[in-house]
């Protein structure tokens, strides 16, 4: 997109009424649409329209503040919609399913899932309470349901703590009214929240919230407060999409034979995730990793590298995040085995490594399991992977606390002015902050980089240093000619 999103509103010259969203319920796309009633031209048009919508959402998330991004998504949906609500619903469902087919075997799969999650979040945040209740009823198959009054009364005290722990703690200090002798915590709970402020679901659906102690667990049922609703629904949607994409891959040959023209059209779609990982990134040896990490690794990967050197270990998510990145920048399988074995040598013997950890490396390179060679994670996926404890150091550093991020940047030699610029950029998006860091590390670069993948950061950095070397070589060659 050549034009900045910040200027789109002015260019379109629209008033606030254009952001009015169609009053359809958010969709989890569990029902397959009928493609046979549409011709090839209509299918291609719908697919491209959805792809354009998601690409614009991705760019808005990258460039704009949260408030501006939400406004922009409203405008984008207005342009995507149809005056007829039924036609809009059909277009929304069909275009989503077409992109599922297109992305099933694409390196853009994670990008697609992340944009659909952003779109769902926007829709959930912009519906009425009544519409949300309808949405829950429509998707009851996911296991969510609102509490009834009896359940609320039985668990009011514990549920109140979930709803507002600070108010709960203040209520503990309130003395009983001698007239009715009612528990003040229960009294305050019943006027502060109602049964519809809570959802219940199978505890397996909310493992992350359980780890963060954000649920009430009783007999295998998890109760959550309304400020957690959207996150739970969106994570369930993500899990469902991953499951659905696995099913599509299993059936892809049959689908391709049924719709050969569509299959050819999908292959022609441009890449969206900012990085097409191929075998043409050059080679890197294990010995080169440390010096190149200081030059060209994005901060998320440098943190992995430094943590591995210091601790002699990485937890599972960290190993997966770092090993796929190293594979994509050209570390061979043989070098990878040697690198990980030597890095773990502080804690485990060679025999223990071969038994416990070598499988992970083979799996990453497609030599175990289903033979799938794993692709490196995009920024969107890395940002979504939040460490559960202090021993886990994967994820995105630009979502750390300000104090922690400032200290790490200072450790890496970044000056105070740039640190402030990076910290300010994190308020808009982690990607923007990463771009600021890239500019600091690569003085006077001309890339105008919008980082959405660690390997994009790395490739741009290596290109920058190659240009510097080429310039230096040209200067040296010219100097030699003058001396002759």
Q: Which domain holds residue 392?
A: 286-466
**Angle (nearest 5°) at CA 58 between 54 and 62:** 165
How far CA 450 is from CA of 141, 210, 260, 408, 479, in Å, comes to 39, 35, 36, 22, 37
CB 182 within 8 A of CB 126: no
**Considering the domain boundaries, does residue 215 fall inside one?**
no
Q: How far is CA 384 from the centre of its chain?
A: 4
In this structure, the answer to whether residues 263 and 295 fall within a common structural domain is no
In this structure, the answer to whether residues 295 and 240 fall within a common structural domain is no
In this structure, the answer to whether residues 374 and 247 fall within a common structural domain is no
In this structure, the answer to whether residues 262 and 321 fall within a common structural domain is no
**Considering the domain boundaries, does residue 411 fall inside one?**
yes
- Picking from 319, 315, 293, 316, the residue whose alpha carbon sits closest to that of residue 306 is 293
Task: State the CATH number of the domain containing residue 99.
Answer: 1.20.930.80
In this structure, the answer to whether residues 346 and 461 fall within a common structural domain is yes
b/e map 212-231, b = 16+ CB within 10 Å: eebbbeeeeebbbbbebbeb
In this structure, the answer to whether residues 259 and 352 fall within a common structural domain is no
Distance, in Å, from the CA atom of 300 to the CA atom of 454, rounded to the nearest integer, reads 8
Position 96 scores a pLDDT of 95
How far CA 471 is from CA of 271, 281, 438, 474, in Å, comes to 31, 21, 21, 5
**Considering the domain boundaries, does residue 275 fall inside one?**
no
Positive or negative torsion for Cα 257, 261, 267, 269? negative
How many structural domains are present in the chain? Answer: 2
Distance, in Å, from the CA atom of 300 to the CA atom of 387, rounded to the nearest integer, reads 13
Position 212 scores a pLDDT of 67
**Considering the domain boundaries, does residue 427 fall inside one?**
yes
Distance, in Å, from the CA atom of 168 to the CA atom of 158, rounded to the nearest integer, reads 9
The token pair at 305 is: 């590298």
Distance, in Å, from the CA atom of 232 to the CA atom of 410, rounded to the nearest integer, reads 36
**Considering the domain boundaries, does residue 473 fall inside one?**
no
Taking the whole predicted model, whether its pTM rises above 0.75 is answered as no
Position 283 scores a pLDDT of 82
In this structure, the answer to whether residues 348 and 252 fall within a common structural domain is no
Rg of the chain, C-alpha, whole Å: 26
In this structure, the answer to whether residues 415 and 328 fall within a common structural domain is yes
Could you list the pLDDT tens digit for every one of the 484 residues in the chain? 333 443 334 333 333 433 334 457 899 999 888 888 888 888 889 999 999 999 999 888 877 777 888 899 999 998 888 767 778 888 999 999 999 999 988 878 888 988 999 999 999 999 888 898 899 889 988 888 888 778 877 777 777 766 666 665 565 555 555 444 556 556 666 656 666 778 888 887 776 677 667 788 888 888 888 778 888 898 889 889 988 988 888 888 888 888 888 888 888 887 665 443 433 346 899 999 999 999 999 999 999 999 999 999 999 999 999 999 999 899 988 999 999 999 999 888 988 998 889 888 888 887 876 656 677 888 888 998 888 888 899 999 999 999 999 999 999 999 999 999 999 999 888 988 999 999 999 998 877 777 888 998 998 899 898 888 888 888 888 888 787 7
Instruction: Tell me what percent of the chain is helix, strand and coil, each rounded to the nearest 5.
Output: 65, 5, 30
Distance, in Å, from the CA atom of 265 to the CA atom of 47, rounded to the nearest integer, reads 10
Q: Which helix (H) or strand (E) holds 199?
A: strand 198-202
In this structure, the answer to whether residues 454 and 308 fall within a common structural domain is yes
In this structure, the answer to whether residues 382 and 261 fall within a common structural domain is no
Position 170 scores a pLDDT of 64
In this structure, the answer to whether residues 244 and 365 fall within a common structural domain is no
- Picking from 416, 457, 461, the residue whose alpha carbon sits closest to that of residue 434 is 457
CB 104 within 8 A of CB 251: no
Distance, in Å, from the CA atom of 161 to the CA atom of 186, rounded to the nearest integer, reads 11
**Considering the domain boundaries, does residue 378 fall inside one?**
yes
**Considering the domain boundaries, does residue 92 fall inside one?**
yes
**Considering the domain boundaries, does residue 257 fall inside one?**
yes
In this structure, the answer to whether residues 263 and 311 fall within a common structural domain is no
- Picking from 255, 240, 81, 232, the residue whose alpha carbon sits closest to that of residue 162 is 232
Position 21 scores a pLDDT of 43
């Amino acid at each position: 997109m050549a034009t900045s999103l910040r200027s789109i509103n002015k260019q379109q010259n629209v008033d606030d009424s254009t952001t009015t969203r169609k009053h359809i319920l958010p969709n989890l796309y569990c029902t397959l649409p009928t493609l046979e009633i549409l011709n090839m031209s209509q299918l291609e048009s719908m697919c491209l329209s959805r792809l354009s919508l998601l690409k614009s959402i991705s760019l808005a998330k990258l460039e704009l503040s949260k408030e501006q991004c939400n406004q922009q998504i409203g405008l984008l949906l207005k342009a995507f919609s149809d005056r007829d609500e039924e036609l809009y619903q059909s277009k929304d469902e069909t275009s989503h399913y077409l992109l599922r087919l297109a992305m099933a075997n694409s390196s853009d799969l994670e990008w697609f899932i992340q944009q659909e999650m952003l779109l769902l979040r926007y829709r959930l945040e912009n519906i009425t309470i009544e519409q949300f209740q309808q949405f829950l009823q429509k998707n009851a198959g996911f296991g969510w349901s609102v509490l009834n009054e009896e359940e609320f009364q039985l668990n009011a005290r514990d549920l109140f703590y979930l709803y507002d722990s600070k108010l709960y703690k203040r209520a503990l200090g309130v003395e009983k009214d001698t007239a009715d002798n009612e528990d003040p915590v229960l009294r305050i709970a019943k006027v502060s929240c109602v049964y519809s402020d809570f959802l219940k679901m199978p505890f397996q659906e909310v493992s992350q919230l359980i780890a963060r102690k954000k649920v009430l667990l009783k007999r295998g049922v998890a109760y959550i407060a309304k400020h957690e609703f959207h996150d739970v629904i969106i994570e369930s949607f993500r899990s469902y999409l991953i499951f659905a994409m696995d099913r599509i891959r299993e059936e892809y040959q049959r689908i391709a034979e049924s719709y050969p023209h569509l299959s050819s059209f999908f292959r022609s779609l441009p890449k969206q995730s900012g990085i097409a990982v191929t075998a043409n990134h050059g080679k890197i040896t294990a010995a080169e990793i440390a010096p190149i990490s200081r030059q060209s690794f994005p901060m998320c990967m440098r943190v992995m590298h430094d943590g591995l050197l210091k601790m002699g270990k990485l937890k599972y998510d960290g190993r997966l995040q770092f090993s796929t990145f190293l594979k994509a920048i050209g570390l061979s399988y043989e070098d990878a085995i040697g690198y990980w074995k030597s890095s773990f040598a502080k804690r485990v013997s060679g025999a223990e490594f071969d038994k416990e950890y070598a499988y992970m490396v083979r799996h990453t390179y497609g030599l175990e399991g289903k033979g799938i060679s794993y692709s490196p994670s995009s920024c969107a996926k890395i940002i979504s992977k939040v460490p559960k404890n202090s021993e886990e150091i994967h994820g995105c550093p630009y979502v750390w606390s300000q104090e922690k991020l400032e200290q790490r940047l200072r450790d890496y030699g970044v000056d105070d002015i740039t640190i402030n610029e990076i910290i300010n950029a994190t308020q808009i998006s982690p990607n923007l902050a990463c771009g600021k860091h890239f500019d600091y590390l690569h003085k006077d670069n001309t890339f105008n980089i919008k980082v959405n993948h660690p390997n994009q950061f790395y490739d741009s950095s290596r290109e920058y240093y190659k240009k510097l070397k080429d310039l230096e070589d040209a200067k040296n060659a010219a100097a030699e000619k003058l001396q002759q």
